[in-house]
């Protein structure tokens, strides 16, 4: 399930969320990585009893477009959580920094301003192998962890609404 690394949060049982609907937004750039992240998330949701009609997957060209897509899905009010998956691999130009900063600030802003959690599933790595290791490789699958976070954050929102 979750990646077992030093400093990682201890695994706690996932709450039961029988009516939860989730949207996954996946960047097509570095699709061999983002496909693996999406597959890891869907697998976790299925293990938790989610049916296909509770999981929708949307694809966008690249990582920068994830914020806009998540914003549009929030406005649609159809989902209880949104997960964004992208993969940015450092290159020889400052493009890496611009993309990482853009998507990080964009998703942070959505989380601060909106009432639907947006789970940040963007890998920002130095080398392709770093991404492979985190997308089902030797370090687990960050997609699975994102699905766990989505379930826990939806449960959190439900508890807050009950106060």
CA 100 – CA 86 distance, rounded (Å): 10
Contact 149, 22 (CB under 8 A): no
pLDDT in tens, 106-141: 999 999 999 999 999 999 999 999 999 999 999 999
Please name the fold of domain 22-162: Rossmann fold (3.40.50)
pLDDT of residue 60: 98
* Secondary structure percentages of the chain, helix, strand, coil, to 5: 50, 20, 30
11 is catalytic: no
CA 43 – CA 45 distance, rounded (Å): 5
Mean pLDDT of 89-117: 94
* Residue of 11, 31, 32, 95 with catalytic role: 95
Q: Is the pLDDT confidence value at 9 over 70?
A: no
Contact 150, 117 (CB under 8 A): yes
């Amino acid at each position: 399930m979750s990646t077992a690394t030093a400093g990682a949060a201890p695994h706690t049982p996932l709450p039961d969320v029988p009516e939860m609907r989730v949207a996954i937004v996946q960047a097509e750039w570095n699709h061999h990585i983002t496909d693996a992240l999406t597959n890891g998330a869907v697998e976790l949701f299925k293990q938790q009893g989610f049916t296909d009609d509770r999981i929708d997957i949307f694809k966008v060209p690249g990582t920068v477009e994830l914020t806009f897509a998540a914003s549009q899905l929030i406005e649609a009010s159809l989902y209880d959580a949104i997960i964004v998956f992208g993969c940015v691999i450092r290159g020889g130009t400052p493009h890496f920094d611009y993309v990482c900063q853009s998507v990080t600030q964009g998703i942070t802003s959505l989380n601060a301003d909106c009432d639907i959690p947006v789970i940040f599933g963007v890998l920002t790595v130095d080398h392709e192998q770093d991404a492979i290791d985190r997308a089902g490789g030797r370090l687990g699958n960050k997609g699975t962890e994102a699905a766990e976070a989505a379930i826990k954050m939806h449960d959190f929102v439900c508890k807050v609404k009950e106060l």
